[in-house]
Chains A and B, each alone.
Chain A
Amino acid sequence: MAIKVGIPRGLFYYRYYPLWKTFLEELGADVVLSDHTNKRILDEGVKSCVDEACLPVKVFHGHVLNLKDRVDYLFIPRLTSISKDEYICPKIGGIPDMVKNTIKGLPQIIDTEINVRRSHKNMWKAVMEIGSYFSDNKFQIRKAYNKAQKVQDMYDGAVRKGRLPSDILNSFQGDNTNFSLIRMDENPDRMDVSLNRADVNPNRNDVRANHGSMQRGQSLLNILVIGHPYNLYDSYINMDLVKKLRNNGVNLITVDMQDESTINKKASFLNKPMFWNFGRLAIGTAMHMLEKGNIDGIIYLMSFGCGVDSFVCDLTEKRVKRMSTIPFIVLTIDEHSGEAGMNTRVEAFIDMIRWRKKDESNISALR
């Protein structure tokens, strides 16, 4: 029987699932994913984890609990660094230890460290170590990883072209669908529009639809939504933010859609280079979008108590306010956040942008 390897549906799942899944399956493992985040996962995560941790870390604990009794191994690599000279976050680097010391009765954890801060060569070391759980054949491991990397590249490519990771990942639920299907959706513009439309159902008996904010013929708003993938693409954690925005006629632009080298250039204005991968991307994307001048607003989604965002969000907001009048809102989530409050804030924000747009066009019409 194939070895069952569990991948918790949290944290860097949203970034690397295609890579990990393909790699492990190529080596003959049976990949088991935890359920979508739900009330039980959240509650159990919150209960088991230390109070002070941020929501996504707590939820991750819930996913581990959800998986632990039905797999032989848990795949929780230690992600110290995924980019040269940069780190991710101390909590992400420490997540295998947190889990191990918090939850009892765990299967063996594959907690190989991934740290390419000094050199990308370290990646191969990690790959070989992970592979050795399943195979003694170095050639086979290498081959499996190369294939996995290709799938990941396709995934990244699709995201860069404007697809949201959650849309792609959710279309591969249940069966072991091959990720090469990603390729089918390569027409970026059509994808984008159809995705945005697919979720907009004005006839649905939805509060927002009745609210009348999504009127016929209303133009799409382009809003940059900055947030860690595990917050932005987990619809349970963020209380359906993506859907809410789409229903309100918003075209989401995210950090993952950007081309890294462009963003790097934009982020280089900082006096001191930012050493958090996400921080550099977030602030660089904001600068890039301001220069391009085609966004109507910026939403910064952060978890309460996020150390990285407490700095990055503040720096970004300071810059945006110094350079422009683009509306900027911070949405903070934790286990106590209520959906009603979130709805009100999001709607008010969007209404405000629409009013401003109307005013602007009135003025220019008068002139």
Chain B
Amino acid sequence: MKVTFPHLGNLYVPIKAMLDDLGTDYVVPPFSNKSALELGTKYAPELACLPLKITIGNFIQAYEKGADTIIMVGGCGPCRFGYYYEMQREILHDIGYKMDMIALDIPWGNYKEKVAGIRKLAEGVKKLAGGWNINKILKAAVNTTIISKRMDELESLSFKVRPREKKRGTTNEIMKEFRNKVFSTKGSAGIKKLIEYTEKKLLEVEIDNNYKPLRVGIVGEIYTTIDTGTSLNIQERLGDMGVEVCRPVTISGWIIEHIIKGGLHLPRDLRFAEAAKPYLGAMIGGHAQETIGNSVLFAKDGYDGIIQIYPLTCMPEIVAESILPSIERDYGIPVLTLIIDEMTGEAGYLTRVEAFLDLLEKRRESKAIEGTTVLSGN
């Protein structure tokens, strides 16, 4: 058995650590690239959402490198993601790629379905771990969560350093070095050290302490916001243009809040839901509630602007998009919506981002002028 898994931002790091620890053989698919998307577009239903298409591409590319088993997580709706692994199984079956699917799915449904679900989940875990070594499994689960959290912290640190660095490109160099090294590092212990090392290097980057970057909040569908490769590296690019970005939806957040706390019925951090309430009264699926709630929180926090990113036809984000103008109006915070699909042209996309940043800059200047006029007592 040689397993593989879909890419989602830095997810490959904790998963790799987990598989190393479990001693399972695996292939990390090539980072999501144009040809992955092309493969997916060829085989997935035309109107499927972009993440499905890219994952199909990931799997085919991993298959070509010897993978025969896929690890996927599932869900119980209302969004399409919950049905991804079924679609992937059907698509791969139809185009003749023989791959097994280990679906780690939250058991749901009626009693019978739930029992069957629990059995399937247990079988999947057993297969992955190569036996029932509870100790080993639990340890791997804990380490995966910790590494995921560390990775997200590392990433958000890079969001802060990048716009302030004195020499453009330093942060990107450090992150690139991390990417290169992580593949030759085995196991959670080693990877943790590498993360610490990278963190230290980031903290040592020479920064301009007087520089006040524009602050932009990133909201939207989880895949296209986290996997910045699929959204033309928007977060890195903004950083390179001297903008500080913040993206509250993270993989570790998803693991901790959704899977662990949700699964164990522990109280979750629901500040975003509270904040969303006046605009979106309920959980409707995907991350619409996060998009709305976090936008409100950004606005209250004095951010300069918000960028919403989502793949074409994404159901919950379409609802969110139609609500965002109210927040824009109520809080006076500009919002830019970027929709990603396989036709997205880089040039047009960047022009819009640049125009948006210009707008934010002008607003900040005029606010500053207003501020000084008030101060001078006129």
Instruction: Specify which chain A residues have a CB less than 8 angstroms from the CB of B281 in the assembled complex.
Output: 78, 96-97, 111, 113
Give per-residue flags for A250-288: 1 if the beta carbon is below 8 A from chain B beta carbons, else 0. Answer: 000000000000000000001111111000000000000
- Whether B282 pairs with A80 at a CB distance below 8 angstroms is yes
Given A307-B313, A311-B45, A97 and B318 contact (CB-CB distance below 8 Å): no
Stretch of B29-37, B79-87, B166-174, B347-355 with 4 or more beta carbons under 8 angstroms from chain A: B79-87
Closest to B323 in A: A101
- Whether B86 pairs with A85 at a CB distance below 8 angstroms is no
The reply on B303 being an interface residue by CB < 8 A is no
Given A90-B315, A307-B80, A315 and B47 contact (CB-CB distance below 8 Å): no
Give per-residue flags for A226-251: 1 if the beta carbon is below 8 A from chain B beta carbons, else 0. Answer: 00000000000000000000000000
**Option from B279, B312, B325 in Cβ contact (under 8 Å) with A52:** B312
Inter-chain CB contacts under 8 Å: number = 130
- Whether B322 pairs with A98 at a CB distance below 8 angstroms is yes
Given A90-B79, A113-B281, A272-B86, A85 and B319 contact (CB-CB distance below 8 Å): no
The reply on B196 being an interface residue by CB < 8 A is no
The reply on A12 being an interface residue by CB < 8 A is no
Residue of A90, A275, A308, A314 most packed against chain B (CB within 10 A): A90
Cα–Cα distance between A270 and B90 once the two chains are bound (Å): 11
- Whether A52 pairs with B339 at a CB distance below 8 angstroms is yes
Chain A nearest CB, measured from B251 CB (Å): 22
- Whether B47 pairs with A310 at a CB distance below 8 angstroms is yes
Cα–Cα distance between A101 and B318 once the two chains are bound (Å): 13
Stretch of B103-111, B148-156, B242-250 with 4 or more beta carbons under 8 angstroms from chain A: B103-111
- Whether B86 pairs with A84 at a CB distance below 8 angstroms is no
The reply on A313 being an interface residue by CB < 8 A is yes
Instruction: Specify which chain A residues have a CB less than 8 angstroms from the CB of B237 in the assembled complex.
Output: none
The reply on A135 being an interface residue by CB < 8 A is no
Chain A nearest CB, measured from B79 CB (Å): 6
The reply on B256 being an interface residue by CB < 8 A is no
Chain A nearest CB, measured from B337 CB (Å): 9
Instruction: Specify which chain B residues have a CB less than 8 angstroms from the CB of A98 in the assembled complex.
Output: 319, 322-323
**Option from B77, B80, B90, B319 in Cβ contact (under 8 Å) with A86:** B77
Instruction: Specify which chain A residues have a CB less than 8 angstroms from the CB of B80 in the assembled complex.
Output: 307-308, 310-311
The reply on B253 being an interface residue by CB < 8 A is no
Cα–Cα distance between A234 and B373 once the two chains are bound (Å): 59
The reply on B76 being an interface residue by CB < 8 A is yes
Cα–Cα distance between A97 and B285 once the two chains are bound (Å): 14
Chain B nearest CB, measured from A236 CB (Å): 22
Closest to B105 in A: A272
Give per-residue flags for B265-282: 1 if the beta carbon is below 8 A from chain A beta carbons, else 0. Answer: 000000000000001111
Chain B nearest CB, measured from A304 CB (Å): 7
Given A101-B326, A102-B322, A307-B313, A275 and B77 contact (CB-CB distance below 8 Å): yes
Given A94-B284, A97-B279, A275 and B89 contact (CB-CB distance below 8 Å): no
Instruction: Specify which chain A residues have a CB less than 8 angstroms from the CB of B108 in the assembled complex.
Output: 85, 275
Instruction: Specify which chain B residues have a CB less than 8 angstroms from the CB of A305 in the assembled complex.
Output: 47, 312-313
Closest to B280 in A: A97
- Whether A52 pairs with B321 at a CB distance below 8 angstroms is yes
The reply on B113 being an interface residue by CB < 8 A is yes
The reply on B213 being an interface residue by CB < 8 A is no
Number of interface residues of A (CB under 8 A): 42
The reply on A41 being an interface residue by CB < 8 A is no
Chain A nearest CB, measured from B196 CB (Å): 40
Chain B nearest CB, measured from A109 CB (Å): 11
**Option from B45, B77, B282, B325 in Cβ contact (under 8 Å) with A101:** B325
Chain A nearest CB, measured from B219 CB (Å): 15
Closest to A113 in B: B282
- Whether A101 pairs with B322 at a CB distance below 8 angstroms is yes
The reply on B187 being an interface residue by CB < 8 A is no
Chain B nearest CB, measured from A283 CB (Å): 11
**Option from A89, A101, A313 in Cβ contact (under 8 Å) with B78:** A89
Instruction: Specify which chain A residues have a CB less than 8 angstroms from the CB of B301 in the assembled complex.
Output: none
The reply on B255 being an interface residue by CB < 8 A is no
**Option from B94, B109, B313, B319 in Cβ contact (under 8 Å) with A318:** B94
The reply on A93 being an interface residue by CB < 8 A is yes
- Whether B85 pairs with A93 at a CB distance below 8 angstroms is no
Chain B nearest CB, measured from A96 CB (Å): 7
- Whether B47 pairs with A304 at a CB distance below 8 angstroms is yes
- Whether A311 pairs with B83 at a CB distance below 8 angstroms is yes
Closest to A49 in B: B322
**Option from B49, B78, B89, B322 in Cβ contact (under 8 Å) with A50:** B322
- Whether A314 pairs with B321 at a CB distance below 8 angstroms is no
- Whether A91 pairs with B318 at a CB distance below 8 angstroms is yes
Instruction: Specify which chain A residues have a CB less than 8 angstroms from the CB of B99 in the assembled complex.
Output: none
The reply on B229 being an interface residue by CB < 8 A is no
Task: List 9 contacting pairs A-B, 8 Å CB cutoff, sorted by A.
Answer: A49-B322, A96-B281, A97-B280, A101-B322, A101-B326, A272-B83, A275-B77, A305-B312, A307-B80
Which A residues are closer than 8 A to B by beta carbons?
A: 49-50, 52-53, 78, 80, 84-91, 93-94, 96-98, 101-102, 111, 113, 270-276, 304-311, 313-315, 318
**Other 17 A-B pairs with CB < 8 A, given A88-B78, A93-B78, A272-B83:** A52-B313, A78-B281, A86-B77, A87-B78, A90-B78, A90-B284, A94-B280, A94-B288, A97-B280, A101-B325, A271-B86, A273-B109, A306-B313, A307-B313, A308-B80, A310-B47, A310-B48
